[in-house]
Structure 1
Amino acid sequence: MNPKAIPNLITCFRILLVIPLVALLVDRQYGMVLALFAVAGASDALDGFLARRFGWSSRLGALLDPLADKLLMVSSYITMGLLGMLPAWLVALVILRDIVIIGGAAAYQFLIGQVEMEPTLVSKANTALQVLLVLLVLFSFAIQALPGPFINGIVMVVAVTTVWSGFKYVGIWGKRAHHYRSSERKGSR
């Protein structure tokens, strides 16, 4: 086996973790879900470290890694929302943001050209906060109930950063599209 494939294999393992994670959530095995989330987080850190440290990054890895993260988060949010562990409106907001980003990237790709996605600072913060919320809610169900106002505060912060990061992406890609169209018009004169 080529060592350069190790980060991608770890990422594929993380994708496969989605199935037992959802099944255990539905079965209300919150401690096990918390453990799987820890394994997923460690695998994400490990594949990123290996790719950077040894130069084992690849185009496939650049596609698989965010896909694995999205599958894990979206499946967790949907399942936790259906189980009443997270507010339905927050789940809808998180999913809507992802649909807007994916739809915008697809439209840009189709209408203008190659999409180079680079996460913004607010997007990175939003992802970290989304993960933190899942971990805190799981901890609250599995180990020790955390105060409702504390969880509600994190829910609100996640909601704000979700909207903020969604608007940030729309703004960035809107500016790029406008710049492209402007330069295209100038070039046709």
Structure 2
Amino acid sequence: MNLPNKLTVFRVILIPFFVFFLLYPGFSGYGNYVATGIFIIASLTDLADGKIARKYNLVTDFGKFMDPLADKLLVCAALICLVDMRKLPAWIVIIIISREFIISGFRLIAADNGIVIAASYWGKFKTAFQMVMIIALILNFDHPAFHIFETALIYIALILTVVSLIDYLVKNKNVLKEQK
């Protein structure tokens, strides 16, 4: 197993630790900081594994499958925890997770037809905003200006989620027409 794939597996392994530190009530508020650190480390492995795989020609089928799955698992776990913590409305999380399922299904149809749908600019931008939003909501600094910042991040991430979905569908509408 090459380094990018090890980083992807490491990211998946970090998810239960992230959830534990975020939700376990016995840490008197310090769990949020540990969870934030774990989330940031996991997010950085996402950047690193892709850059390393492309730079050193270490792209594998395992990586093509597991890297986006690891990202979705990390983000979805965080979003579901934030609903449980009452920091994020469930309807927003439903829209975000639904988008991920739609795009994953779309990519499966495309792959079945020998077409690879790469991540778009909007998709990458969406992911970055979602990750910043998650970090801000976990840290939850008790200041009115920070609450405005959190709210802005939530709605920007939501808008980018919808825009990136529309972008994928419009750019790849031929995938549905060409299915076997």
TM-score, with structure 1 as normaliser: 0.82
Q: 1:45 to 1:107 in 2, by over 3 A?
A: closer
Q: Is 2:109–2:175's contact at 8 Å kept on the other side of the alignment?
A: no
1:112-146 Cα distance to aligned partner (Å, 9 max, x none)? x12412111111111111011011112225xx655
Partner of 2:88: 86
Structure 1: 5+ residue stretches without partners:
185-189
Q: Is 2:4–2:49's contact at 8 Å kept on the other side of the alignment?
A: yes
Q: Percent identical across equivalent pairs?
A: 25
Q: 1:114 to 1:18 in 2, by over 3 A?
A: same
Determine the C-alpha separation between the residues in 1 that align with 2:128 and 2:165. 15
Q: Is 2:133–2:154's contact at 8 Å kept on the other side of the alignment?
A: yes
Partner of 1:15: 12
Determine the C-alpha separation between the residues in 1 that align with 2:173 and 2:52. 35
Q: Is 2:82–2:138's contact at 8 Å kept on the other side of the alignment?
A: no
Partner of 2:147: 148
Determine the C-alpha separation between the residues in 1 that align with 2:58 and 2:108. 27
Matches within 5 A, 1:1-150: 5-27=2-24, 29-109=31-111, 113-140=113-140, 145=143, 147-150=146-149
Q: 1:97 deviation in Å?
A: 0.7
Determine the C-alpha separation between the residues in 2 that align with 1:167 and 1:154. 20
Q: Is 1:22–1:79's contact at 8 Å kept on the other side of the alignment?
A: yes
Aligned residues: 174
Q: Is 1:25–1:80's contact at 8 Å kept on the other side of the alignment?
A: no
Q: 1:81 deviation in Å?
A: 1.2
1:127-168 Cα distance to aligned partner (Å, 9 max, x none)? 111011011112225xx6552222111111111111111122
Determine the C-alpha separation between the residues in 2 that align with 1:17 and 1:132. 18
Determine the C-alpha separation between the residues in 1 that align with 2:41 and 2:107. 30
Q: 1:89 deviation in Å?
A: 1.5
Q: Specify the code of the residue in structure 1 equivalent to 2:7.
A: I
Q: 1:82 to 1:171 in 2, by over 3 A?
A: same
Q: 1:134 to 1:64 in 2, by over 3 A?
A: same
Q: 1:107 deviation in Å?
A: 4.2
Give the CA RMSD over aligned residues: 2.2
Q: Is 2:110–2:116's contact at 8 Å kept on the other side of the alignment?
A: no
Q: Is 2:22–2:35's contact at 8 Å kept on the other side of the alignment?
A: yes
Determine the C-alpha separation between the residues in 1 that align with 2:105 and 2:4. 28
